[in-house]
Amino acid sequence: MTKEKVMNRLYERYIKPTEQKAEKYIGVEIEMPIVNLSHQAVDFAVVHQLTAAFLQEFHFVPAGIDEEGHIYSAINQKNGDVFSYDCSYNNMEFSFGKEKQLRTIHERFKIYYSFVQHFFKPYNYTLTGMGINPHRKLNHNTPIENGRYKMLFHHLSSSSKYAFLPMYFHHYPQFGMFSSASQVQLDVTKEELPSVINTFNQLEPIKALLFNNSVLLGENEELLCCRDMLWENSTHGINPHNVGMYDCEIQTVDDLLHYISTVAIYCVEREGKYLNFTPVNILEYFTLDTLTGEYMENGKIHSLQFHPQPEDIAYLRTFKFEDLTFRGTIEFRSACCQPISDVMTVSAFHLGLLHKMAELKQLLAQDTSLYHNGYSAAELRRQLVNHHLPAYIDTEKLYELTRRVLDVCRQGLAERGFGEEQYLLPLYTRIEKRTNPAKTMLDRLRTGENMDNLVKEYGRISNDEDS
């Protein structure tokens, strides 16, 4: 395909769905680690029993079955909710069908979550609200036996092939099997795209301050949110435009379209097989005659030559913090899984601020406590995912800025008229105490708190719930 045709297809896939949006909806995705409190690996047989019981209780129908016959994804055809496992059977995910109110989603979440916890209790298992599975070293961190997840694991395990690149690769190719996120998708119109992406990109350091909750215990406890590092220093980050933050300003829709054209494609599907290959820029991809991809079958890696096809744009996968999707939504994906009692904080934060974009932009533009100190938004994010703040930052002024951001958010939610501002209360507490879930966990561990107690506490659906 010519460059013009590729650009037209990218426009049709990503920009066109944002045109003439009549109504705006919310989509929420919550990933949670499964923890065996007996300090042994999670037994996937128990997980499969739970799946069967969940489907029967809530009338979900299978949507994905692995090569061993196990259900890894199921959908409620009435409301669009999806019950699934992300990357492995150690990580559960609830994805909710689009709704207009957060309260509607939260009520369904509580019903599903309570059922799972009740089922797990006799096995001494629990879900918990931590961004890194605290028992990751005990678990079987193996991918779900299907083409996509095996392809993904193979791709992430291939970093040694890129030793010639001037970048650092971490040694956690299995990170998708022990990391959990809280993500929200919000409808955005075409006209709003540049402003929303720029403003929320600028907000990422403050989000780190509030939502840090991913610690590699015993390895790097200074890093309170290792999510960024796990994605950016993996093969996903070979092209940095596929991950993380925007390092340039998106002023127009054309700017955004051209940015999308700079990302790399690394997988396609052929003959029913998921193939991964050396990441290549999407424009360059369509200038190639043939490529060689790899797939796993019967525990062995096989090669297959293939030709680029126009439909391959559907396999373009990015992991931006503000990620424009083919649904006409922006997916905000930088936040860790939160303690379950605070499960709606991430969605409420983005929803309220999206409703008050002008006020948020003005507040950030006038700030000098964080910005205008010689650092970009991306550099500030890298600083604020750490336990200790840089010396040049005035902590009091930083938290005052964060409180003012939260006040704007609260006003936005209040104007929606659904009582959603209640979900911000835990964030005000974090500001008052100058903490976040990762800091709280580490501080309590260092004073002798038992990890199992924290796992249970972070897994409680309410702060009033009994131990």
* pLDDT (tens place) for every residue of the chain, 467 residues total: 899 999 999 999 999 999 977 789 999 999 999 999 999 999 999 999 999 999 999 999 999 999 999 999 999 999 999 999 999 999 999 999 999 999 999 999 999 999 999 999 999 999 999 999 999 999 999 999 999 999 999 999 999 999 999 999 999 999 999 999 999 999 999 999 999 999 999 999 999 999 999 999 999 999 999 999 999 999 999 999 999 999 999 999 999 999 999 999 999 999 899 999 999 999 999 999 999 999 988 888 999 999 999 999 999 999 999 999 999 999 999 999 999 999 999 999 999 999 999 999 999 999 999 998 899 999 999 999 999 999 999 999 999 999 999 999 999 999 999 999 999 999 999 999 999 999 999 999 999 999 999 999 999 998 665 43
| 345 assigned to some structural domain | yes
CA gyration radius, the chain: 22
CATH number of the domain enclosing 369: 3.30.590.20
| 326 assigned to some structural domain | yes
Phi and psi, residue 223, nearest 5°: -90, 110
| 465 assigned to some structural domain | no
> What is the token pair recorded at 111?
């019903």
What is the structure's pLDDT at 299? 80
Burial status of residue 410 (CB atoms within 10 A of its CB: 0-12, 13-18, 19 or more):
buried
What is the structure's pLDDT at 465? 57
| 466 assigned to some structural domain | no
How far apart CA 334 and CA 184 sit, in angstroms, is: 10
| 233 assigned to some structural domain | yes
Which residues contact residue 223 at a Cβ distance below 8 angstroms, ignoring those fewer than 6 apart? Answer: 215, 216, 229, 385, 386, 387
What is the structure's pLDDT at 463? 65
Domain span at 426: 3-458
How far apart CA 215 and CA 446 sit, in angstroms, is: 14
What is the structure's pLDDT at 467? 39
Domain count, the chain: 1
| 463 assigned to some structural domain | no
| 347 assigned to some structural domain | yes
